[in-house]
A and B are shown apart, each in its own frame.
Chain A
Amino acid sequence: MSDFNTVGKSVKKIDALSLAAGEKMFTDDFEIPDKEKLLHLAVLYSPYAYAKIKNIDIGEAEKMDGVIDVLYYGNVERVLHTTAGQGFPEPSPYDTVLFDKKVRFVGDRVALVAATSKKIAQEALKKIKVEYEILEPLFDIEKATSPDAPKIHDDDEYAVIPTKYDPEHNIAAEVEIKFGDIESGFAEADFVEEHTYRTQYAAHCTIEPHAAAAYFDAMGRLIIISSTQVPFHARRITARVLGINEGMIRVIKPRIGGGFGGKQEILVEPLVAMVAWRNKRPAKLVLSREEVFVSSRTRNPMRIRLKTGVKNNGTITAIEMDALMNTGAYGAHALTVLSNAGSKVLPLFNKIENLRFFGRSVYTNLPVGGAYRGYGATKGYFAFNQQIDIIARKVGQDVLEYIKKWHIKEGETSPIFEALGEGKEGVSQIIHSCKLTECIDRGAKAIGWYEKRGKHIRNGDWVKGVGVSVAMQGSGIPRVDMGSAYIKMNDDGSFNLHIGATDLGTGSDTILAQIAAETLQTPIEKFIVRSSDTDLTPFDVGAYASSTTYVSGNAVRKCAEKIREQIIEVAAKIMNADGDNLILENSAVKNLANGKVLPFEKIAKYSLYTQDQFQIQAGESFVGDESPPPFAAQFAEVDVDTRTGKIVVKKFVSAVDCGQPINPKLVEGQVEGAVLNGITYALCEEYLFDKNGRMTNDNFWDYKIFSTADMPKLITIVVNSFEETGPFGAKSVAEIGINGPMPAIANALFDAVGVRLFDAPFTPEKVLRALHKRSA
């Protein structure tokens, strides 16, 4: 496994220097052609959680000098769509229009002004007079389906795929799967554990806000530059909203300043595109930080009731997960985030025979959920890992040994893989690679588990505890996600690699080039990578669901293999050799029969200029038949201040099996970023609302994410395995790291001071309250 030349090496990220040097690489850095005509956009958002717009008067705004266009429901065609950038047809309901007569959350779009400067556009917003009829809002998810609850969507909204969609009862999605006999499973149990876990609204906090610009090229086609994770979905959905063909639009994703799921939403592209199209002028919109918080997408809150029947020896006889998700005002990802809470979590303990998963996503008049690193799994694992900790303690077993006994192993499967997919049935699969046990052992050692667990080491008011969490994720959505690649060979033996895949800063351009370089036995510097341009690169679903390394990576591998065949074919001719004796080595073809070597450059020149000329080139696609999960064991060491309730994470260890890492340093980077995000999500990240549903902490002062000053010691251990279906043995890794912090910290808190928090985040107030309750 280690005899790779490029794979498995921490090759430097190919765009890193340009980024560190401040080159113009982000959406808002580019000079837009025809820039004297550039229109700047400003959006008017609803101040009310739920209201009908009785009247809008745009007259005053329109009259202002410099105002070119004002958009609202009265002059923009009502085209139902989803903002969720997913495959087609999307599993999310078509319940959104650009501008509606109703506003459904504080931050919903009311109108938009396009003007010759941002300042004028913003001034003009103040001149728009809106008369609202305020409606009774719905905030409580537990009340959403009751007959007297306000109905959030009661017009022509619909689901495009056959699925349960019942807006009459505010149900945006519902899913249920069952195996065995849950009742007799619980009857068999010696005891039943049932707990309710709640997670909160959170923001992605990409440091670059959402941004898009639209302009026309010389042929009159609409070009959109966008900070998007999903250029092809952005093109398709924008085309739908504009009522034009996809072919009229080119979407270019330049470098983007982070995504984490937040830019899997088609939010700003239709706005700039619509304004450009109507006015035949370029348009640009960069959201402010406040707008990102209030109007874009979030991590949905979820309430999970987890019930397990357990034998005194630890055998789980039945498990029932009941998930209620708040999708907010619109159903973007309502079904799939929900399903994911079960589908990525329950297979981990695959020997439980009696199982039920029931999930429901409900509408409310709060911010809209969406994709967020970890997706539903993060919420599911919060419940699952605390429950496992509770059970192991009850049956008197070391939780690490307990998990090692019950977790899914190589060669095993779970019926859930097949039963629960993303918007349709899943795909059955057998686990080919799983080093979770090794992850647990190595992680335990690094955290000092047996020296610290249960020891309640004290230092004044502070008490130490350690906790563990385990997880699996996936590598793309099987039989749904497709990635493709195109390679051609240049005169000098260099290659153009064109991929639809979307590098969010993750380094996918680099690792995909590594995969091509390994296949063709040439250094990565020989690859000129172009990605994420709907005109110039082949299709790819984009960056989500931890798909790129596995799905796009396999496409690149297949494509490079075709190139290899062509190179050998040409070399065989030149060398007058039997192709079977030829191999690729050091940017050359080597004849094993006589040791003769022919450099790529000669082969390229021959194929282009000499005889039987043709372009050495190939395109390939890949869609996964399975979605091999990466695995992780994560450990938190916390100190808890029993006087103030403050939790300080001292050390956090993640041991991750993502197959053969293509680029270990980039793997570590993915894990470290996800972990720190997960830690702040556990401790302090949270949307706060006033009683009218308005977010009250829409800035980085009040919505705290960690800076260097707050850093715990993060340790990442990459545990190599080999996934036979992955490119060079690789699986994906982008999301899994975020699943562990919240449950591991909760378990460490209990280990330290003996209280459990079932509601995140774990603020000092909550810890203190729990401590007081216990001592009362």
Chain B
Amino acid sequence: MTGDFTINGERKILSFEARTTLLRALRENGYTEIKEGCGEGECGACVVLLDGKLVNSCQVLAASAIGSEITTVRGIGDIHIPHPIQQAFVDAGAVQCGFCTPGMVVATYYLLQKNPSPTEKEILKSLDGNLCRCTGYVKIIDAVKLAAEGMEK
């Protein structure tokens, strides 16, 4: 089947098989910045903003998201014009293997939109759904703080 989506601000028609997850539909259409770590809603590598809400795209059927607005990490910034959050992840040393990073950046973007200066506790709580095995999270938390500071200015 096919469906209409607005992805990172652009109208797109995606084709996918019925009962395909949003994650697979997006990846198969070239949006490989969305990662699959578990396919079961446990790791957060696949998070996107779906109509402004943070969701695990592996837990959403593509068909049910037709007509929605989707933001991935590439909609937040790119290598030419990185978003302050992406830059903060780089500067804080929060990117090791980088496989969790797109999800972390999207989750951070969501958090800072709602809460521009989160406390450490709020950061820990809001990134709870995103697993990282490389960093022990220390530098990721640093990155979120750094991004919050940077965006405030």
Contact = CB atoms under 8 A, between A and B. Distances in A.
Say whether A associates with B: yes
Contact of A20 (B105, B128, B130): B105
B133 interface: yes
B135 A669 contact: yes
A87 interface: no
B91 A12 contact: yes
A673 B131 contact: no
A260 B93 contact: no
B100 interface: yes
Interface string B60-89: 000000000000111001110010001101
28 contacts: A12-B93, A13-B90, A13-B93, A16-B95, A19-B97, A20-B89, A22-B73, A29-B32, A206-B97, A206-B99, A206-B133, A207-B100, A257-B97, A258-B99, A505-B96, A505-B97, A507-B96, A668-B139, A669-B136, A673-B96, A700-B131, A701-B40, A707-B130, A707-B131, A707-B137, A709-B128, A711-B136, A714-B138
A709 B139 CA distance: 15
B86 A21 contact: yes
Interface string A8-20: 0010110111111
A228 interface: no
Chain A CB count within 10 A is highest, among B86, B87, B96, for: B96
A700 B40 contact: yes
Contacts of A504: 97
A676 B137 CA distance: 9
Given A26-B99, A714-B138, 10 more contacts: A17-B79, A20-B101, A23-B33, A26-B35, A207-B100, A208-B35, A260-B133, A705-B131, A708-B125, A708-B128
A10 B92 CA distance: 10
Interface string A585-619: 00000000000000000000000000000000000
Contacts of A257: 35, 37, 97-100
A16 B97 contact: no
A11 B41 CA distance: 35
Contact of B134 (A22, A669, A700, A701): A669
Interface in A1-42: 10, 12-13, 15-26, 28-29
B38 to A, nearest CB: 4
Contacts of B72: 22
The 7 closest A-B pairs by CB, nearest first: A505-B97, A22-B33, A19-B98, A257-B99, A672-B136, A700-B42, A676-B136
B89 A208 contact: no
Contacts of A209: 36-37
Chain B CB count within 10 A is highest, among A19, A209, A674, A677, for: A19
A12 B131 CA distance: 23
Given A22-B33, A24-B32, A256 B128 contact: no
A607 to B, nearest CB: 32
Nearest to A260: B133
Given A26-B99, A668-B93, A701-B42, A707 B82 contact: no
B82 A208 contact: no
Interface string B109-150: 000000000000001110111111111111111000000000
Interface of A: 10, 12-13, 15-26, 28-29, 119, 204-209, 255-258, 260, 286, 288-289, 504-507, 665-666, 668-669, 672-677, 699-701, 705, 707-709, 711, 714, 716
Nearest to A17: B90
Contacts of A26: 32, 35, 99
Contacts of A714: 136, 138
A258 B97 contact: yes
A665 B101 CA distance: 17
A665 B133 contact: no
A707 B123 CA distance: 12
Contacts of B105: 20, 22
Contacts of A10: 93
B82 A21 contact: yes
A16 B105 CA distance: 12
A672 B93 CA distance: 12
A115 to B, nearest CB: 14
Contacts of A676: 136-137
B62 to A, nearest CB: 14
Nearest to A26: B99
B127 to A, nearest CB: 4
A19 B38 CA distance: 19
Nearest to B126: A708
A207 B45 contact: yes
A119 B28 CA distance: 14
Contacts of A675: 136
A207 B99 contact: yes
B3 interface: no
A205 B134 CA distance: 10
Nearest to A506: B96
